[in-house]
Amino acid sequence: MPEYEAVIGLEVHVQLKTASKMFTDAPTGFGQPPNSLTNAVVMGMPGTLPVLNKGAIEQAIRFGLIFNSEIPERFQWDRKNYFYPDSPKNYQLTQMDAPVCMGGEVEIELPGPSRNQMGEHKVIHLDHAHLEEDVGKLTHFTKDSLVDYNRAGTPLLEIVTKPDLHSAEEAVALLQSIRMHLVEAGVSDCDMEKGQMRCDANVSVRPIGQEALNPRAEMKNLNSITGVKNAINYEIRRQSRVYDKGGSVTQETRRWDADLGRTSSMRSKEEAHDYRYFPDPDLLPVHFPRDRVEELKADLPEGIFDRQRRYAEQFGLPYTVTSVICYDHELAQFFEDGMAVHGKNPKVLANYIANELQRERSQAEGDGNLPMADVKLTPEALARMVQLIDEGKLTKHLARDVFIEMFNTGKEAQVIMDEQGIKVEEQDAGELEQWCRDAIEGNPVAAQQFREGNEKAINSYMGPIMKASRGKANPQAVRETLIKIIQA
């Protein structure tokens, strides 16, 4: 049996974040009463015409700029004709011939050997990304069906990759990278549960070494990360088995059934729709001003992985921390806001965010992590707490309870310390020296190592001294005293 290699291309649909719809001023939204986000244009009333939402175009261009796509001088609109009750006009306005973004590349990170180790990075190439309007939503009942057109006309960006992907893990990593970058830039919320990000996957397999591509299966509407992963893995296994048995795979559209955990045929290539595309005569081709493209480019946030590399180099933050704060837009912002107030100790600040803040959020009442919007602790207050530690006014040990109180109440560290009488006690020099001598006596090897140039060896005294002082010892003073004794 030959070994197979999967060849995968994704079509990712992303709802763009705009106040109003793609071609009219009706508002966009989720979870509103059925058909409340509509008007005559959305409903396809006779005589209505589409008018471009410039905001949607700018969001699409932002996408292209994030991923190094070419933004053509001119793009146009086409009609895709097909009948379905969720489509008010029975044609969809889309970009068949001249899309808003050409080419592009997405950096992805594959899972590392363990959670706290960075995985391999790869670049996945994009074919193009085009704008189109979303359709409504059908709900089926035993006898009839109802249509909600709230979603109809929402700006949708369809991102089409080259067949660059070779595993379900890579496909998932691509979705995660796109999502992180688009959320960061405010282009889309990419919430798959709300249908803001949807995925079709084209999968084929071929014997390793074979150049030519085999027929592919297109799987529609993979609406969760797990769905994408399972459907692709299923399809790779299925096609491999077909070839193993000497069979051939037909090019077709397949439906993923998440409950049964398998795909089944929807329609073959011969049955494919003829969409009778033609340029939309109601919308003129768009010549988007170049200087505005440059403005949008200048306003883009830093790339996620670029920021991660910068944090590692500039602040010496480890992967375990950067993978938490850089991959989450809100945490990254929290860190940046904190740094603006007190930028002297990025490591400690980042640690509090990646560890303590995340721990408290996960332990807060309610389902899942407490949303950042509901977190009372402000980045400014946390930065001032770190500053108190740096100034020796607060120890990390004392800060543990202070932090929890800050998280629960939103109060400043200084206020909590004043209220509760928490302070770093003036150290009795004699008492401190005694703790240090006791500690060195208990572990003379570390002192020897320190004398031989291993500065970190001194850290092994911290634990016992803190224990002996019941957390009251000022780390800075402890350190100075230890060095004095060892070097004496």
Partner 1 sequence: MGMDQSAILEASALALAKALHNGDITSREICQAFLDAAEKGDSEVGAFLKLNRETVLKSADASDERRANGSELSPLDGVPVALKDNIAIEGETLSCASKILGEFKSPYTGTVAGRLLSAGMIPFGRLNMDEFAMGSSTENSAFQKTRNPWNTEHAPGGSSGGSAAAVASRFCPWTLGSDTGGSIRQPAAFCGVVGLKPTYGRVSRFGLVAFASSLDQIGPLGRSVEDVATLLDVISGHDPYDSTSYPGDLEPASVQLHMPHEPGTLGVPKEYFGEGIDPEISQHMEKVANAYRDLGYTIKEISLPHTELAVPTYYIIATAEASSNLSRFDGIRYTHRSEKSKDAIDLYYQSRGEGFGPEVKRRVILGSYVLSSGYYDAYYKRAQQVRTLIRNDFLNAFKEVDAILTPTTPTPAFKIGEKTDDPISMYLADIFTISVNLAGLPAVSMPCGLTENRLPVGFQLIGQPFEEGRMLQIAQAYESAHPFKDHPEIASQA
* Contact residues for partner 1, defined by CB under 8 A: 40, 43-52, 79, 81, 83, 85, 88-91, 145, 147, 274, 276-278, 281-284
Q: How far is the CB of 78 from partner 1 (least distance, A)?
A: 11
- Taking the complex as a whole, how short is the minimal distance between the CB of residue 32 and partner 1, in angstroms? 18
Q: How far is the CB of 48 from partner 1 (least distance, A)?
A: 7
Q: Which is nearer to partner 1, 143 or 456 (CB)?
A: 143
What 3-state class would DSSP assign to 40? coil
Distance of closest approach, residue 73 Cβ to partner 1, in angstroms: 19
Q: Which is nearer to partner 1, 151 or 307 (CB)?
A: 151
Write down the least CB distance from residue 57 to partner 1, Å. Answer: 13
Closer to partner 1 at the Cβ: 284 or 429? 284
19 or 40: whose CB is closer to partner 1?
Answer: 40
Closest by CA to 284, choosing from 49, 13, 20, is: 49
Q: How far apart are CA 397 and CA 471, in angstroms?
A: 6
Instruction: Give the tokens for residue 59.
Output: 């969001």
Nearer to partner 1, 42 or 187 (CB): 42
The span from the CA of 456 to the CA of 154, in Å, is 57
Neighbours of 346 (CB within 10 A): 19
Q: Which one, 83 or 314, has the nearer CB to partner 1?
A: 83
CA dist 351 and 414 (Å) reads 20
What is the C-alpha separation between 392 and 478, in angstroms, rounded? 12
Question: What one-letter code names the amino acid at 4?
Answer: Y
Under 8 Å between Cβ of 392 and 476: yes
Q: C-beta of 411: minimal distance to partner 1 in Å?
A: 52
CB of 35 to partner 1, least distance (A): 10
Shortest approach of partner 1 to residue 62 CB, angstroms? 23
Nearest-10 Cα torsion for 161, 163, 164, 166: 120
| Chain position carrying tokens 């403005």 | 295
Give the number of C-alpha atoms closer than 13 A to the C-alpha of residue 259, restricted to the C-beta side: 0
Strand duo 252-257 + 217-222: pairing: parallel
C-beta separation of 317 from 311 below 8 A: yes
Residue placing its CB nearer to partner 1 in the complex, 50 or 104:
50
Question: Which stretches within 168-289 are classed as H helix?
Answer: 168-185, 225-244
Q: What is the dihedral of CA 176, 348, 375, 331, to 10 degrees?
A: -20
Determine how β-strand 262-268 pairs with β-strand 278-279.
unpaired
Tell me whether residue 93 or residue 436 sits nearer to partner 1 (CB atom). 93
- For partner 1, the closer of residues 92 and 230 by Cβ is 92
Q: How far is the CB of 408 from partner 1 (least distance, A)?
A: 52
Q: How far apart are CA 182 and CA 187, in angstroms?
A: 5
Alpha helices in 127-202 (DSSP H): 168-185
How far is residue 144's CA from residue 141's CA, in Å, rounded to a whole number?
A: 5
**Beta-bridge partner residues of 108:** 122
Cβ 213 to partner 1, closest distance in Å? 22
Smaller CB separation from partner 1, 243 or 277: 277
Determine contact, residues 180/304, Cβ cutoff 8 Å.
yes
Q: Which is nearer to partner 1, 51 or 429 (CB)?
A: 51
Q: Closest approach of Cβ 97 to partner 1, in Å?
A: 11
Q: CA torsion, points 290, 292, 297, 301, in degrees to nearest 10?
A: -170
The residue among 343, 301, 468 whose CA lies nearest residue 397 is 468
d(CA 154, CA 135): 8
